[in-house]
Amino acid sequence: MSPRILFVAVLCCGLLVSCGDKSGEKDPMSGAAVVALSGDADNFNPVVSSSATSGEIQGSIYPMMFDVYFDLQEGELKFDPGLVLRTERRNGGKDVVLHLRTDVRWQDGMLVTPEDIKFSYALYGDPEVASPRRNYVESMIFTDDKFDVDKSIEIIDDSTMVFHFAKQYPLQKFHLNLSPVPAHVYRNADRKTLRNNPANERPVGAGPFKLEEWVRQQQIELVRNPTCTLPRPSKLDRVIFRIISEPTTRLTELKKGTVDVMRPVYPDDVQDIQENNPDIRLETLPPRNYEYIGWMNIDIEAYHESGGKTIKPHPLFGDRRVRQALTYAINRKEIMEHELGPYGELAVTDFSPIFRWATKHDLIPYPYSPEKARQLLRSAGWSDTNGDGILDQGGKDFEFTLYYNIGNKRREYVATVVQKELKDVGIKVNLQSVEPVVLFDNINNKKYDAFIAGFQVKLAVDPSDRWGDVSNPFNTVGFQNERISELLKLGLHVPNIRDAGPFWKEVQSIIHQEQPCSFLYWVKEIVGVNRRLKSTNINILGVTDDMYEWEIGDPNSYMTY
């Protein structure tokens, strides 16, 4: 057989095979949506999972205590009934009574009970489990420095339980919203190895979807859970999450119509999509992530040598006037417009503009003013005494290394611009790109004088995340301020979230004044959605929030390969 005939024969066979499989059967893709993700899940146990993918998917599998949504008008999270029908506060707000539904069943037919919830909280709070969400129980009752689940959680009857807190605070409901796991599945599990428990790969949930198949590094397939009553089975037969790490490939799949939802779409691709892909609609998420340049506020050599005891100002950035000068010297608006265009918002502090009630709107962003920067640096004692073009003080040049993660194009651009603009005011910046793991490790351990990083704020206002104690890994710049410490205590002890508004506004004024970091911009993430997918409510809680409501306009519109 000549090669040409062989080639034609193979092609014909392929054609026959590809036509033959569709005859007479319903195409399983007809009621399915496909979502492209950049990374795989780590497991499907909400107590121990850490990956963004797991978080995204688990919400559709496990029962939720509340049906949470973010009210953009009011700028705060709202808690509608879920497994919890209603709550009551007692004992001056220290006790919260939960009235539960009694008709919710796990997908294996067992009832979801208060014992499941108590058992789950015991797992979340056990240091041996090392749950990433262990901090959710830290305001409950502790005995001998250990989370005391029996004193913290009291089961009254099948539909009532009481959570006892050490104090009343505004985030109580937020901390009551941890997903329960079925106690009958995990009761005998070894807590030290809970992360590796095989049951995590076969989750037993009670949500609108259940896990059908997980092929690691390839795809995760969810199918509708017909027994779901919380709130109801999904309208789609199935949703397939495909793992595609390369952004260009992900975008190509969206353009081909073989993927229905993908994130993030980069601002550079928006115009092309709008002009050439009428089937794709682009949705913009409200800003939750910001990027900043961290200036180390404390002398890290002294800090580390003393085992964290000695706190004294950083030789370069310890002076507030210097930090202000650095913000003046960087044209943040131009950087933002170049990199994000309309999908960025200039950051003034680390309070997201989505928290309308808590944001201090009258703070004026530092304008780009090299002259003002020079003036402030002069007043802080920095001048070019030896005429080499670099400012100096006490015989030491104003020179430092700026670290950022390798392969992040946006931060590479920021670093280059910062280097150039600070040179204009007499500061020498050396650039150093670092592998992400090393970068995060060193930032969290306060080993860099200056770095570019990002931060995702949680959806309840809690500035203690960033500005708490210096030893907090997220206080990456070692910033300390007595008044902020007082305000944190005041704001985190009010009965209602909004009562903390004035305290948080004062915190922002101080941060704006002190400039512990130069805040760059908030990023509004863009999500691409195929128009055949209807009723998507892609919002700040996640792309797949309310996924059970998704519908397909034309069930035959999925392009089969």
Partner 1 sequence: MTRYIFKRVMSAIPLLFGLLTFTFFIIRLAPGDPVSLYVQGDVDPQLAENLRVQLGLNDPLPVQYVKWLKSMVTGEMGVSFSRHADVTDILADTIPNTLLLTVFALFFNFLIGIAIGITTALKRGTLADHTVNVISLFVYSMPEFWLGLMLILGVSLQLDLLPASGMHSPMARFLSTPAYIWDLVKHMILPVFVLGVASAAATGRYMRGSLLEVINQDYVRTARAKGLSEVLVIGKHALRNALIPIITLLGLSLPFLLGGAVIVETVFAWPGMGKLTVDAIFARDYPLIIACTLVSGVMVILGNLLADVLYAIVDPRIRYD
Sign of CA dihedral 503, 509, 515, 521: positive
Residue 131 lies near partner 1 (rule: CB under 8 A): yes
The span from the CA of 300 to the CA of 401, in Å, is: 14
Stretch that binds partner 1, among 23-31, 154-162, 267-275, 414-422 (CB under 8 A): 23-31
> Taking a C-beta distance cutoff of 8 angstroms, is the pair 298, 470 a contact?
yes
The span from the CA of 250 to the CA of 528, in Å, is: 10
Residue 253 lies near partner 1 (rule: CB under 8 A): yes
- CB 217 to partner 1: min, Å: 4
Residue 18 lies near partner 1 (rule: CB under 8 A): yes
Q: Of the two residues 357 and 455, which places its CB atom closer to partner 1 in the complex? A: 455
- Answer for which of 266, 423, 440, 557 binds partner 1 (CB under 8 A) is 440
Residue 341 lies near partner 1 (rule: CB under 8 A): no
- What x/- string results for residues 444 through 483 when contact with partner 1 is judged by CB under 8 A? x----------xx-x------x------xxx---------
> Taking a C-beta distance cutoff of 8 angstroms, is the pair 505, 358 a contact?
yes
The span from the CA of 104 to the CA of 249, in Å, is: 41
Residue 17 lies near partner 1 (rule: CB under 8 A): yes
The span from the CA of 194 to the CA of 107, in Å, is: 21
Determine how β-strand 95-100 pairs with β-strand 160-164. Answer: antiparallel
Supply 103's token pair: 């008709």
Residue 438 lies near partner 1 (rule: CB under 8 A): yes
Residue 255 lies near partner 1 (rule: CB under 8 A): yes
Residue 32 lies near partner 1 (rule: CB under 8 A): yes
Return the beta strands (E) in 257-367 as ranges. Answer: 261-265, 280-284, 289-295, 344-346
Residue 43 lies near partner 1 (rule: CB under 8 A): yes
- Answer for which of 1, 3, 4, 21 binds partner 1 (CB under 8 A) is 21
Q: Phi-psi bin for 63: left (phi > 0), alpha (psi -120 to 50), beta? A: beta
Return the beta strands (E) in 29-83 as ranges. Answer: 32-37, 66-71, 76-81
**Beta-bridge partners for 428:** 399
For the chain, how far is it from start to end, CA to CA, in angstroms? 30
Q: Of the two residues 56 and 319, which places its CB atom closer to partner 1 in the complex? A: 56
Residue 532 lies near partner 1 (rule: CB under 8 A): no
Residue 513 lies near partner 1 (rule: CB under 8 A): no
279: buried, middle or exposed (CB in 10 Å: 19+, 13-18, 0-12)? middle
Matching residue, tokens 């901090």: 135
- Answer for which of 103, 157, 190, 246 binds partner 1 (CB under 8 A) is 246
- Answer for which of 115, 148, 221, 345 binds partner 1 (CB under 8 A) is 221
- Answer for which of 91, 102, 143, 218 binds partner 1 (CB under 8 A) is 218
- Answer for which of 99, 134, 164, 372 binds partner 1 (CB under 8 A) is 134
Residue 282, SS3 per DSSP:
strand
- Answer for which of 217, 307, 361, 395 binds partner 1 (CB under 8 A) is 217
Site residues (vs partner 1, CB under 8 A): 13-14, 17-18, 20-21, 25, 27-29, 32, 34, 40, 42-43, 48, 50, 127-128, 130-135, 192-193, 195-196, 200-201, 213, 216-219, 221, 240, 242-246, 248-249, 252-253, 255-256, 258, 435-438, 440-442, 444, 455-456, 458, 465, 472-474, 560-561
